[in-house]
Amino acid sequence: SLSELMRLVRDKGFDPGLAERVVVAAAGPVRDGVCDLTNASWSIDLRDPGAGFPLERTALINDFVAQALGCETRHAAQSAITIQEGVARPGVVAAVGAGTGLGLCALAPLPGGDFLPLPSEGGHAPLAVVNRPEFEFLEFLQARTGHSHGFGDTMVSGPGLSFLHEFLTGRRLAPREVAREIGPDSET
């Protein structure tokens, strides 16, 4: 629960009530100060008295809104790695990340240099399969999950790594175990 999580945070020496500003980045859609977590069975509600948030100084945002906004920080610019040389052009910035789910957020440029974050629960959108091996993987996923389609959370991230590894090797492992086992030459 949020109360239990915040008790653990306070036990580590951080009291949100003493912070100048608090931003809570949560994995799920945020509406009216509440986030129903996507891959957990509980919610984050800033008004939960056990959390101890100073409501007037606390914001709850989607985790990939935080990631996308982080792309525009001075630190991100200084630590960026060039993948392909080219000329940067102003435009939409996309933040995509695979973890327990597939996180997505776009930043649309606004006049004056600011950005409008466009959060998405895109990890739940269907992914297209286009060739025979992908169709076979989709059939495997349908049998394992009962879903009619593959989507980011089951194909690209979270349990997707376990499903893909099992499909390719016949061995069922937790995502962490798969990640420890595979390398650059692994088909998984």
Domain residue limits at 38:
2-64
Final residue in a domain of this structure, among 40, 64, 88: 64
Does 87 reside within a domain?
no
Total domain count, the chain:
2
pLDDT at 71: 85
Q: Are strands 22-26 and 115-120 parallel, antiparallel or unpaired?
A: unpaired
pLDDT at 59: 94
Cβ atoms of 145 and 151 within 8 Å: the answer is no
Does 84 reside within a domain?
no
Does 173 reside within a domain?
yes
Question: Looking at residues 35-53, what average pLDDT do you find?
Answer: 88
Ramachandran region, residue 74 (left: φ > 0; alpha: ψ -120 to 50; beta: rest): alpha
Final residue in a domain of this structure, among 45, 64, 83: 64
pLDDT at 157: 82
Final residue in a domain of this structure, among 41, 64, 87: 64
- At how many degrees (to 10) do helices 159-169 and 132-145 cross? 120
Per-residue pLDDT tens over the stretch 10-28: 999 988 889 999 999 998 8
SS3 95: strand
Q: Are strands 58-62 and 93-98 parallel, antiparallel or unpaired?
A: unpaired
